[in-house]
Amino acid sequence: MDGKKWFLLAAIILASASFYALDGQQYLTTDFFRQLYQDDPVGTAAIFFGLYVVMTALSLPGAAVLTLLSGAIFGFFYGVLLASFASTLGATLAFVFSRTLLRDWVGQKFSSYIGTINRGVKKDGSFYLATLRLIPAVPFFVINLVMGLTAMRVWTFAWVSQLGMLPGTAVFVNAGDKLGSIEDFSVSGILTPGLIASFVLLGIFPWLAKLFMGWLKHRRLYQHYQRPARFDNNLVVIGAGSAGLVSSYIAAAVKAKVSLIEKHQMGGDCLNTGCVPSKALLRSAKMAHYLKRSGEFGLENVSGEVNFRQVMERVQSVIGQIAPHDSVERYSELGVRCIHGAAKLISPWEVAVEGETITTRSIVITSGGRPFVPPMEGLENITYYTSEDIWTLRDKPDTMLVVGGGPIGCELTQAFTRLGVRVIQLDLGSCLLPREDEDVSQLVMAQFIKDGVDLRLERKARSFHKVVDSDTGKERCYLTADFRSQTEEISFDIVLFATGRQANTAGLGLEDLGIELTDRGTVEVNEYLQTTYPNIYACGDVAGPYQFTHTAAHQAWYCAVNALFGQFRKFRVDYSVIPWCTFTDPEVARVGLNEKEARELNIAYEVTKYEIDDLDRAIADQEGHGFVKVLTAPGKDKILGVTIVGYHAGELVTEYITAMKHGLGLNKILGTIHIYPTLSEANKYAAGQWKRAHAPQRVLDMVEKYHSRMRR
């Protein structure tokens, strides 16, 4: 900051301090200004105007009081004139100060508002500012300061603020005018119809303004489309994955007319290519692993060979057994009209599918996601799979290269390794499961190495190519990867990409309607899961931010209820307690914060860690490995987050999910009876460790002295 800016800032601070030090507030009274106004109308108006500008520019409290005073002193017309232009000038000066002098301070002080306001300005520009001015959801002075950090021009800010604040200013001035006209201060003199009406208007103005802006925004949004006179459906759901099935189920349960459109298979990714097949594969892999561990359980002469083809056929059999739960037949019986085909939105109320145009009051987009394969040189020349089509594999490969160290990559790496495939797992990071704490990643990696996984971390995949083996005459696939300052050639038979997922948004007609996407390519939704159009919702993988089956189902409830009953009440989606589990061996389950996230968010925490190798049931089951790690608020038993690594961690974490959802602390868990011997006792012992670390030492010292005296 240069010398001029320092001087101006010092002058502002000195003026503010002088105002309060000299008791300037005493002059902000009706009688004082009324007397001045009678003696010198123009001078009084000028003083009042200047005072209003200074207080607003310096973001000092009292603008609302001054607005009331303007009505009491100058009457309605002149009061509105003075307060309106003074507030605009002061707000504009605050805007300029924020942009030039206070940028760093405002950025730090009001960081929670900056992202929201920036998104609003980017999306709706001056209309967004007008909405903020008319509906006081954000404090008046915060709007002035934070807007200074946006790209909005000064002139645009000034004229939009002038128009946006005018209705509210008029309501306040009117109330002040009515107050100022009171001469009889008896009950009957005060409770006049005019004064009562003024204060009623003052109270309901925010609600009226919200209704008006909502109507105006709705009109702007839908003006190019003709709303059907009547609808074929109450709800159309696009996509029959977890989110789509739950949305349809709820709609049918409340007797709404609902159509469910799916262009592939009912059940979506979870049933056909995700959760169900991967868990079936993991179960077979675990059984194969237990055969190898039979000696640990005192079993001799135990043998068994993996029939890879039969294992993969079993996966399909499991899918087939669960498929009726998500079938067309079942949902048709529930009252859902199931349509097979590709859906496309042609208006906010119309969906085209298979040559038919369906009209509907509301739409829920649940089109899911698909695996992302990064573009790489030579990819077209090799055989590669993703989590979507790996289930078609029947012949066991000698060597599989898995690219990706996230949950999907880790689950499939371990499964195929235990089924006898030599697996090379490659990732750019320095550890597997990078979202988890280091001790979690290290424990999982140690087990992977013990299983025989060839871990290749800190490798950047560059290109693929084939080389003819001079001895056998067969082609061999290779990946060229960068490892630190060296180049590495990795040989493999097939490659499995587990490099993330992307939302299925293409072909739905979203661009034609102007439905916005996020930087991650997902459909942008608000806290009610509404898209750009309030009657069009989105949830599940296509919307994010979490790509789990259980969160998709969780969101679907909000979508269905808001879409069908939102005119009465809408519900904000609740992400306060989101759990997940990576089903490796050991399993990694988490809810809430871990240490890595707490540090990134600068949240103070304490750690309690219970090692499961001390648990009786885990020892008996020969599964004594892993830990329960609980993050709590310093000095309190409030749970901030839990990570469990170990046998059946995904089941054990449920107790903590319930506790966090209902605000229960570790003391409540400690005071709950847990069956012996069970794995769930690990949760109680973790709570016990926290209790011992927070024992009231002074009280214990006093009790010790008491017992000592009692022995005399």
User: In the structure, what pLDDT confidence band is assigned to residue 106 with cuts at 50, 70 and 90?
Assistant: confident
Superfamily of domain 586-697: FAD/NAD-linked reductase, C-terminal dimerisation domain (3.30.390.30)
Tell me the backbone φ, ψ of residue 536, rounded to 5 degrees: -115, 125
Better-scored residue on pLDDT, 80 or 431: 431
Least trusted range by pLDDT, from 108-117, 184-193, 493-502, 587-596: 184-193
Q: Which CATH number fits the domain 389-488, given the four candidates 3.50.50.60, 3.40.50.2300, 3.90.930.12, 3.40.50.300?
A: 3.50.50.60
Give the three-class secondary structure for 366.
Answer: coil
How does pLDDT run across 129-144, given as a tens digit for each residue?
777 776 666 677 777 7
Q: Which of 388, 381, 385, 457 is nearest to 421 (CA)?
A: 385
Compute the average pLDDT of residues 567-589.
95
The contacts of residue 260 (CB under 8 Å, 6+ apart) are 236, 237, 240, 244, 245, 248, 331, 336, 337, 338, 339
Compute the average pLDDT of residues 572-590.
96
Let me know: does 129 contact 161? Beta carbons within 8 Å.
yes
Quote the longest CA-to-CA distance of the chain. Answer: 112
Q: What is the pLDDT of residue 631?
A: 98
Token pair 């180049």 is found at 487
Q: What is the pLDDT of residue 712?
A: 78
User: In the structure, what pLDDT confidence band is assigned to residue 104 with cuts at 50, 70 and 90?
Assistant: confident
The contacts of residue 60 (CB under 8 Å, 6+ apart) are 16, 19, 54
How does pLDDT run across 253-273, given as a tens digit for each residue?
999 999 999 999 999 999 999
Q: Which of 292, 343, 285, 284 is nearest to 314 (CA)?
A: 284
Q: Supply the DSSP symbol for 323.
A: G
Q: Which of 343, 148, 248, 321 is nearest to 539 (CA)?
A: 248
For the chain, which residues make up each domain, given as ranges?
Answer: 3-221, 233-371+502-565, 389-488, 586-697
> Please, what sign has the CA dihedral across residues 330, 335, 337, 343?
negative
Same fold yes or no, 233-371+502-565 and 389-488: yes
Q: Which of 370, 388, 276 is nearest to 323 (CA)?
A: 276
Q: Supply the DSSP symbol for 297.
A: G
Q: Which two tokens stand for residue 184?
A: 């009889």
User: In the structure, what pLDDT confidence band is assigned to residue 189 with cuts at 50, 70 and 90?
Assistant: very low
| Res 198 pLDDT > 70 | no
Better-scored residue on pLDDT, 145 or 672: 672
Q: What is the pLDDT of residue 191?
A: 47
User: In the structure, what pLDDT confidence band is assigned to residue 379 with cuts at 50, 70 and 90?
Assistant: very high
Cα distance between residue 69 and residue 49, in whole Å: 12
User: In the structure, what pLDDT confidence band is assigned to residue 190 with cuts at 50, 70 and 90?
Assistant: very low
Looking at the chain, the whole-number percentage of residues with pLDDT higher than 70 is 89
Least trusted range by pLDDT, from 59-73, 378-392, 416-430: 59-73
Cβ neighbours of 246 (radius 10 Å): 23
Strand order of the β-sheet with 486-492 is 459-468, 475-483, 486-492
| Res 511 pLDDT > 80 | yes
Q: What is the pLDDT of residue 184?
A: 42
Q: What is the pLDDT of residue 560?
A: 96
User: In the structure, what pLDDT confidence band is assigned to residue 79 with cuts at 50, 70 and 90?
Assistant: confident
How does pLDDT run across 594-651, given as a tens digit for each residue?
999 999 999 999 999 999 999 999 999 999 999 999 999 999 999 999 999 999 999 9
| Res 552 pLDDT > 60 | yes
Cα distance between residue 306 and residue 310, in whole Å: 8
For residue 238, CA distances in Å to 274, 341, 353, 372, 559 come to 19, 10, 10, 21, 12
> Please, what sign has the CA dihedral across residues 23, 24, 25, 31?
positive
The per-residue pLDDT of the chain, averaged, comes to: 87
Beta bridge partners of 195: none
Superfamily of domain 233-371+502-565: FAD/NAD(P)-binding domain (3.50.50.60)
| Res 28 pLDDT > 60 | no
Q: What is the pLDDT of residue 614?
A: 93
Torsion of CA 10, 14, 17, 22, to 10 degrees: 180
Token pair 């020349």 is found at 381
Long-range contacts from 601-605, C-beta under 8 angstroms, 24+ separation: 603/640, 604/633, 604/634, 605/631, 605/632, 605/633, 605/634, 605/640
Give the three-class secondary structure for 539.
Answer: coil
